[in-house]
Every structure is written in C-alpha cells, then in structure tokens.
Amino acid sequence: MQMTYLQAVAAALREEMQRDDKIIMFGEDIAEFGNIFGVTRGFLEEFGPKRIRNTPISETAIVGTALGAAVTGFRPVAELMYADFTMVAFTEIFHCVSKWRFMHGADYKLPMVIRCAMGSSFGAGSEHSNCVESLFMHAPGLTIISPSTPADAKGLLKSAIRSDNPILFCEHKQLYQTKGEVPEGDYTIPIGVADVKRPGKDVTVIAVGLMVRRALEAAEKLEKEGISIEVIDPRTIAPFDKETVFESIRKTHHAIIVEESNKTAGIGAELAAMLQEEMYDELDGPVGRVAALDVPMPYNITLEKHVIPDADDIAKAVRAQLARSL
C-alpha cells in the first residue's frame, strides 16, 4: 500500500506497542501534541499516559531514563526532537548506551531505540539541521540506522525495537512526506543489510538518507548520457554492509559516496579509507566523495540549497570519476 515515510514510522511504532506492552515511549511533546511532526498523534489516547509520556526539555534525562528502563526490562523508544540535540546527551550515548553491553557481560541486554529527526529542513538553521551519523560511528556498540524510504523506515524500525542492542534511528525531516509502497502486514528488515536501489554497471554510488533520492535523480539524468550508475543505500551505517558494496565495485570499478553531513571526517571519509584498504586492486581511480560544504548550515534557504548536494552535484562527480579513467 502507498504510505508516507511519516505514516510508516507511526505504523511501526503503533504495531510494536500493540504487540508488546513492555514498549514505552517518551520525549518532548510526544503525548498530547503528538510529536512536533505529528508522528505520535493519537498514541496517548490509545496507549495511555503510563506508556506515552512527555518529558522536560532535557535530552540528558531522556536518554538516561531510557537507559534505566532498558536495564530493568522495558523496551523504551526515546525521542530526541532533533538529531542536533543528541549532542546534549553525548556523554550518555557515547559512554553508557554504546558501551554497557560490552562492559557488563554476555547476558546483559540493552534494548532501547533513540529516534531523532535529522537533516536540512528549509531554513531551520545550523542548530536544527544536522546529520549526526558520522559523529556516532566512533561509538562501538551503537547501531546506527538511516532509512531512505517508507518501506525501509517501517521494517527497520520494527527490527530496531525488537533488537537487544541500543540503536540510534535517524529519520530525515525532508523524507517525512515522501510516499512509497509499503508491504501490508507485519514485516521486518534485517539490520546491517544494504539495498541496491538501482542496478548499474559504470559507477557505484553509495548514498545515505535523503541523498538516496538525489542519487536516483542523478541516475535518471546520467542514463540519458549513456552512463549507468548503481545506487546502494546502506540503510544501516553501523554495522556497515561491506559485502554488498564490494560486490558492486567488482562490477563497476568506481565508487562515490554521497552524504548530507560535512565532508571533513564524514561517513564518506571512513568508507573511502575502508575501500582504499580493502578494494584497492578493484578500483580504477580514487574514491569520490560528495557531501555538504564544511560550513554551519545557513538559515537562508537559497544558501542552504547551495550547501547541500543535489542531483546535479552527484552527476558532476560521476562524470569526473569516469573522465579520470579514460
């Protein structure tokens, strides 16, 4: 059935809460107001105030409460209104959430999900527009998921809630109103498995979040020029599905990574280093990177569009990649 990304996230949350009464949710304005984007509207009336709770404006307290609830047998889904606010709770996420399963032994479980809305959003400015995946890739033990389609959002969120590992679940704000086909009934998508969104033979493009859609737009443009790109959506940033990417590069012998976060020390930097180490002999040129400019996000919408990569930027990088190997 056709469903928006927002509806898919809401459906996953509702179905999981109906399935398991150990699932609880809390965050800023998620109860009566139903989340700033409307994801949890109606949840308070359906599940009651013991399972759907508003919190004070304290991300440290939200994450700490989720941590304690997970330790004591619940399956909390904590919402941080914007991904930018994960920085307020960085110590809890980096030192506690990501490490405690390693520190306390094999029988210790930490089933918790931290949901956050991320990315550029038409003039929200530098403190409400960040993509944070690369910042948390440096936290071993933390699973990072960043879906790009409604179907992936629903299936992966269900898997995240059922997991015994702590998960950072990143939802791009510009994707909330995008529509796509979503399977009917209960289904999950395995964590740590990438998806080939479009097969191709000339260049492998690994795109994250909103950039998957823009990479697919670039593919349409390039197809008219006789250039075929394979678009891979990792879906899970950590753990990262190397084999799907490696299989593609063995075919195309070219790789470009596209992300919305800043280029310096971003996802692309880590993946490019990995490909250099492990796929050097298969590559016919250096790994390309397309990312946001290394500046704080402007409030001005025209400048914001200039900072964030679009389909033309991706197509330009693909052409340059192929030109190098001529």
Distances (CA, A) of 127 to 16, 173, 294: 32, 14, 15
Catalytic status, residue 95: no
Q: Using an 8 Å Cβ cutoff, are 162 and 109 in contact? A: no
Per annotation, catalytic residue among 95, 128, 253, 306: 128
Q: How many residues does the chain have?
A: 326
Distances (CA, A) of 326 to 23, 242, 284, 313, 321: 56, 27, 10, 21, 9
Q: Using an 8 Å Cβ cutoff, are 153 and 12 in contact? A: yes
- Report the C-alpha gap between 114 and 160 in whole angstroms: 10
Cβ-Cβ contacts under 8 Å for 326 (sequence gap 6 or more): none
Q: Using an 8 Å Cβ cutoff, are 25 and 35 in contact? A: no
Q: What positions carry a catalytic annotation?
A: 128
